[in-house]
Amino acid sequence: MVELCGHATLAAAHFCFTSGLVKENTIEFLTLSGILTAQKVIEPKESASLVSDKGEVEQPLLIELDFPAIATSECSLDETSSISKVLSPASVIDMKKTASEDLFVVLPSAIAVTDTQVDFEELKKCPGRGLVICAAAQSESGFDFDPVTGSAHCALAYYWSKKTGKSDFTAYAASSRSGVLKLHIDEQKNRVKLGGKAVTVMEGSIVV
């Protein structure tokens, strides 16, 4: 059973906002992780432009999700050994595990992340729910770090805020289906706000 899913929350909020089902700018979802809030944020028109299937220019819509921050801790010797086999011969500078059972490693650079070759046979033997590979981005790239997936962002925002002393980040998912997120961590409330965009790719009906 999934307690926290960023993709599902973002998709549900996107549908509710764009379909007109919800007129307000904020939605609250009752989940196994507590109440998750999705807020509609209208970006400046010059920041981006979208054209609908009707040929109409749509105002850019950013959806900001309010999730609980996820703390990190040290990996065990077995976990460290497993991760090393998965990423060999990559140079790993730090390893952590999250309260949501993910493991993540920090590599020397963003280039090292995109160049890493994962041994998927070894990954199957690796403990934990998932493995996240990240690094601090170069200052001129415009990105502060390179994480992936919703719940992982909650842990990585926590980790990098401790490392850098910052509370706001731009996150770039360095995968074949890459994307950019805006992150803000509130340490006093132990919450992370994730801002991202969604696109409707299919519409249909189910007859029951």
Residue pLDDT, tens place only, 76-112: 888 888 888 888 777 888 999 888 788 888 998 888 8
Q: What percent of the chain has pLDDT over 70?
A: 83
Among the listed residues 154, 161, 169, 166, the one whose alpha carbon sits nearest the alpha carbon of residue 68: 154
Instruction: Check: CB of residue 195 under 8 Å from CB of residue 171.
Output: no
What is the Cα–Cα distance from 194 to 184, expressed in whole angstroms?
7
Instruction: State yes or no: pLDDT of 120 exceeds 50.
Output: yes
CA–CA distance, 155 with 192 (Å, rounded to integer): 9
pLDDT of residue 82: 87
Q: 186 or 201, which is more confident? A: 186
pLDDT of residue 42: 73
Q: Quote the pLDDT of residue 135.
A: 85
Mean pLDDT of 61-66: 87
* Mean pLDDT for all residues in the chain: 81
DSSP summary character for residue 176: T
Mean pLDDT, residues 116-130 taken together: 85
Residue 40 has pLDDT above 80, yes or no: yes
User: Per-residue pLDDT for 131 more than 50?
Assistant: yes
CATH assignment of 72-182?
3.10.310.10
The CA angle 2-62-181, to the nearest 5 degrees, is 60
Q: Are strands 102-106 and 130-134 parallel, antiparallel or unpaired?
A: parallel
What confidence score (pLDDT) does residue 144 get?
42
pLDDT at 145: 40
Full DSSP string of 88-154: TT----EEEEETTSEEEEE-S-HHHHHH----HHHHHH--SSEEEEE-BPPGGGT-SB---SHHHHH
Tell whether the model's pLDDT for residue 25 goes beyond 90. Answer: yes
Cross-strand pairs, 26: 39
pLDDT at residue 26 in the model: 95
Most confident of 52-56, 85-89, 191-195: 191-195
